[in-house]
Chains A and B, each alone.
Chain A
């Protein structure tokens, strides 16, 4: 069947091919002379916007993309300048970053860690992106943050709510503006106590993955501190679309509050099921039955429609927030796109501006310089009020919004009403908090690459 005769010529040929194959990888070991990864040399600087354009969070991703484009416009001095006028740091002049015009490339994370890393890598390796921004999932954020750390570029996280992003997975090159599950719990607890009393019995339905667990852990901790009792915590598979079988046992469990640690489509479905079962009309233990959704977003609220009326939750930002920065941002976003921004859009917008500002103040694009400029940076005027970028874990600290599904929405965007603005002191925690990796969690060394 096969010819295995060894000839002199054949042997030489084989040897040459094999030799070349072995030698090849070792020839190319020289590295380039740049001071750091993707040092911009021309008249432009490239930012990478890595957002989910397909998959379950595509709506959020596209909203983020709109905000990022708006931020680039404002940085380049086009449009009305938006928050550049209200930002307390005046380093940005509307002439790009450090005099270089800002350009951007976009990619699709597909809300999958692998695809997100592939897309971020192509931005870094092919397009020369110096910063990666965006994303709508904690798993993706942690994965891309690790990549950026290794590659030596800055990662400005988009929507990521799990404690781990700035907890046990914190990285020196990664920064999070969005709030986290612990803050949600801390902000919600006092409002829950005020509205529902101190002797409630809670039943948790939790999406069975990393974010769901940290969220459940945080809410359980803060509600039990109030004196609530946790009746049961049930994990639901992420792919579930029908939660009826999980809702039915709630009725007989003796619980009088249902906490839905779900996000996106999961939350819309589980909440709808809960309403269909008439949970909100029930009276348990002599009290009105209540539902809490710890993490809200505008898109979820729109998806759940009527069902969210009166349901409490928390948010990072809401366009109805009345401060100078918020008004400026909502105005320019609304004028350009004809709708108010979502809270993920605001986060990405703020992150791009914060990055640009840090470069200006550091006088360099070197990730180590930028990181140093961001660490411990206090600012205002980007929509969330007074904010601190904490140096120890690269987490932003600012007021957290407790919101409620609007009883009488006047238009399509008025689905949520702000119940309380929880002051930042109340959601503060030490950087070595046990939910955030304890004493073992470290940022590591900043990596400029190259």
Chain B
């Protein structure tokens, strides 16, 4: 279907089903139960899952295929957000032109940075991109937000004020980012028994865009262009000797992934019309690297899984506090309850970074291929379980 082979088609269909049914899948526990703490099916987090999914898919086109590790991708995300909010401020709250502009601006910006940074490879390339991103952050945070020329509104973040021109805004339209009148915040609550599910317009817009972007990524992975990018990764020198210039390929990959980041930034602004400078900080750039590696660099679905994993920890684990722990362990005798709370305490609430760090270490040490490798191992184990042990033994991996 759509020019994909059977395996890729089924992958795309799985992703489509997962994203469209996410409101059900992410809310497995009845609201009001003690486990409801772990539900992730509320609009904001679902939007974040798919938006950072898009960001990571794009990053993976650069890092997974060419092996160029950019440490400055958050800059494109931030630029995308700023341009989208400016579109809201000047013209209208309609998300389509805003998202389009954010992709275009991110493309131009990444062309500039890519053209300069790609003159070097390896660690030098990483450092160059990091330097550019930190420069953009400093510009957005301080320099471009002075009262005389306020482009980014600095620390507070760029937002839409009532006295902004908004040339095409009419009173009949919602005072929120909207898609031809459909507010991105409008949510339909569905109560089934003890469960409740949220269907949010903004989420479905992001989900549809993510599916399109995922499809695009598959096509890039499978195209001759994708093959060239892989060639850059495996041996750039050999490529040079055969008379091919890798620069246009890497630059194209860099710009494409920059556009993905810009799209993610634009969507973030479309879901919540505020662009903060922290989006461009190096920690944000590092986060997408973590997402990609955690999920599985160079795989199609990996980055999306990694993005979901990290965002889940950031938003769910950081909200567990001691009171909730006491509720969980309340069935234990008093002293033991306090002991358990004491043991778990460092890993929840403000300690979510610690938990995430441990998980990341475990994944990198035991599953170098990321969560995707974990899934594959699990799948193989399940498949081989039925067969005889002898059969499994005779099957040997071919040598590289």
Residues of A bordering B, CB below 8 Å: 1-4, 10, 13-14, 17, 20-22, 24-32, 53-54, 58, 62, 104-108, 112-115, 117-119, 121-123, 125-127, 137-139, 142-143, 146-147, 150, 164, 169, 208-211, 213, 235, 237-238, 440, 442, 444
Contact = CB atoms under 8 A, between A and B. Distances in A.
A108 B318 contact: yes
B18 interface: no
A113 B182 contact: no
The DSSP consensus for interface residues of chain A is helix
Chain B, interface residues (CB within 8 Å), range: 35 or more
Contacts, number: 157
A41 to B, nearest CB: 11
Given A125-B43, A125-B44, A237 B138 contact: yes
Given A10-B1, A442-B162, A1 B222 contact: yes
Nearest to A213: B147
B332 to A, nearest CB: 22
Interface of B: 1-5, 16, 20, 39, 42-45, 48, 138, 141-142, 145-147, 153-157, 159, 162-163, 176, 179, 182, 185-189, 198-201, 204-205, 208, 211, 219, 222-224, 272, 274, 276, 278-279, 314-315, 318-319, 321, 323, 349-350, 352-353
Given A28-B201, A115-B278, A108 B350 contact: yes
Nearest to B41: A126
A30 B199 CA distance: 10
B141 A238 contact: yes
B319 A21 contact: no
Given A113-B278, A114-B276, A117-B272, A209 B155 contact: yes
Given A2-B223, A143-B157, 8 more contacts: A14-B2, A22-B208, A28-B199, A113-B155, A113-B276, A126-B39, A142-B156, A209-B155
A233 B199 CA distance: 52
A239 B205 CA distance: 37
B157 A113 contact: yes
B1 A14 contact: yes
B209 to A, nearest CB: 10
Contacts of B199: 27-28
A64 B189 CA distance: 34
A106 B321 contact: yes
A444 B186 contact: no
Nearest to A211: B155
Contacts of B138: 237
Nearest to A51: B350
A53 B320 CA distance: 12
Contact of A122 (B16, B44, B186, B200): B44
A31 B198 CA distance: 11
Given A2-B223, A126-B39, A146-B159, A25 B179 contact: yes
Nearest to A112: B278
A125 B319 contact: no
Contacts of A123: 319
Contact of A25 (B163, B182, B276, B352): B182
B204 A58 contact: no
A10 B315 CA distance: 40
Nearest to B27: A126
A125 B271 CA distance: 14
A17 B155 contact: no
A3 B1 CA distance: 8
Contacts of B185: 150
7 contacts: A26-B182, A108-B349, A119-B315, A122-B44, A125-B43, A210-B156, A442-B162
A122 B350 contact: no
Nearest to A62: B350
Nearest to A109: B318
A381 B321 CA distance: 30
B337 to A, nearest CB: 18
